[in-house]
């Protein structure tokens, strides 16, 4: 671990970012350029004290999970992220399997989307990032670990819960689309990749997956008109638009409803329900602390 190189790298990249680059308001007058340390810590979901110690060359060696969070907070490119891992004394992660890193270009777009559900997935269907409305619609998938983070895995391993967000008459089509996208990922990544590992896991888990896999369908379908089901607001009719990275390993999905429609009103209601749930969680934490 090169403490001096790590500290200087973090400080310079923090100072190069402006609040608007990460979806924050300008706030009060700033005496120093770039983001504040506490803002980076907040974005990285870590304590300000821990992050400050890293910049002051006093902190312990950060874990790969911490580094992934910092890379995401600082909007690092793949090359910059790799350098961060090296100076912190870790090996460089495989770019196709690092679920802690969101492509900076997609993250910047996601930061600016607050009025409609949006999320970033990798090529294996793992949720890398969500905005508040996507969490209100789908639940927070970023807290899951292992294959549980993949919507493809959950669809076949936990059909009772994973499929509830789709109407019953659309679930067969969605299942075929997920399997076809996994076959496309396998073709792109090869037989020694995480895609092959996921196929092997699902072949042991789900006879339904095996039957669909044998159809040899290949497709990457994201742009779509679909109906989603929320337990409190009911059916929401949306259009799904996709923005892919150049290597097509990550995709930003944006769900929009027709302006003025009942579905648009339901999406606004989701925002209100999400804030109420957050308030209930905070109240529960406070009660538990007493």
CATH classification of the domain holding 41: 1.10.260.40
Q: Which domain holds residue 36?
A: 3-87
Number of domains in the chain: 2
Mean per-residue pLDDT for 230-246?
91
Q: Does residue 33 lie in a domain region?
A: yes
pLDDT digits (tens, 9 = 90+) for 134-149: 999 998 988 888 899 9
Residue 229: phi, psi to the nearest 5? -120, 125
The predicted structure's pLDDT at residue 171: 94
Scanning the structure block, which residue is given the tokens 């934490």? 285
* Residues 169, 264 share a domain: yes
Give the pLDDT confidence score for residue 193 in this predicted structure. 85
Domain end position, chosen among 87, 119, 134: 87
Based on the domain organization, do 69 and 137 belong to the same domain? no
92 domain residue, yes or no: no
pLDDT cut 70: percent of the chain above it: 88
In this structure, is residue 98 part of a structural domain? Answer: no
Average pLDDT, the chain: 85
Residues 6+ apart with CB under 8 A from 75: 17, 21, 22, 104, 107, 108
Could you give the C-alpha distances from 12 to 6, 50, 51, 172, 254, in angstroms and in order? 10, 17, 14, 50, 32
In this structure, the answer to whether residues 173 and 69 fall within a common structural domain is: no
Residue 212, in any domain of the structure: yes
The band of 276, judged by pLDDT with boundaries at 50, 70 and 90, is low
Residues 256, 163 share a domain: yes
Are 55 and 149 in the same domain? no
Do 194 and 76 belong together in one domain?
A: no
Answer left, alpha or beta for residue 23, where phi above 0 means left and psi between -120 and 50 means alpha.
Answer: left
Backbone angles phi, psi at 246, to 5 degrees: -60, -35
Q: Quick check: is 178 in a domain?
A: yes
Same domain, 213 and 138: yes
Q: Which of 58, 87, 116 is the last residue of a domain?
A: 87
Residue 255 sits in the same domain as residue 184: yes
Band (pLDDT 50/70/90 cuts) for residue 290 is very low
Task: Report the DSSP beta bridge partners of residue 241.
Answer: 254
226: CATH: 3.30.450
Kindly state whether residues 224 and 82 are assigned to the same domain.
no
Instruction: Return the pLDDT at 222.
Output: 66
pLDDT reported for residue 280: 44
pLDDT digits (tens, 9 = 90+) for 149-189: 999 999 999 999 999 999 999 999 999 999 999 998 888 88
């Amino acid at each position: 671990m090169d403490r001096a190189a790590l500290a200087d790298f973090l400080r310079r990249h923090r100072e190069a970012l402006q609040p608007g680059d990460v979806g924050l308001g300008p706030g009060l007058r700033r005496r120093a350029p770039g983001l504040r340390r506490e803002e980076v810590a907040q974005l990285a979901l870590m304590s300000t004290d821990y992050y400050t110690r890293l910049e002051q060359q006093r902190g312990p060696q950060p874990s790969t999970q911490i580094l992934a969070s910092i890379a995401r907070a600082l909007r690092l490119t793949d090359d910059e992220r790799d350098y961060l891992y090296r100076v912190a004394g870790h090996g460089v992660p495989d770019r196709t399997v690092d679920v802690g890193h969101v492509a900076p270009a997609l993250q910047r777009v996601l930061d600016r989307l607050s009025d409609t559900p949006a999320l970033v997935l990798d090529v294996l269907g793992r949720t890398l990032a969500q905005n508040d409305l996507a969490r209100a619609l789908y639940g927070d998938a970023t807290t899951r670990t292992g294959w549980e983070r993949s919507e493809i895995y959950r669809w076949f391993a936990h059909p009772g819960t994973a499929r509830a967000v789709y109407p019953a008459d659309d679930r067969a089509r969605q299942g075929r689309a997920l399997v076809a996208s996994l076959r496309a990922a396998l073709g792109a990544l090869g037989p020694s990749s995480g895609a092959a590992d996921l196929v092997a896991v699902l072949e042991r888990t789900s006879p339904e997956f095996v039957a669909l896999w044998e159809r040899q369908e290949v497709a990457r379908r994201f742009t779509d008109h679909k109906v989603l089901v929320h337990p409190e607001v009911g059916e929401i009719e949306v259009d799904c638009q996709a923005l892919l990275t150049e290597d097509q390993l990550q995709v930003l999905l944006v769900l929009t409803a027709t302006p003025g429609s009942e579905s648009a009103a339901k999406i606004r209601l989701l925002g209100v329900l999400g804030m109420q749930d957050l308030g209930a969680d905070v109240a529960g934490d406070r009660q538990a602390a007493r």
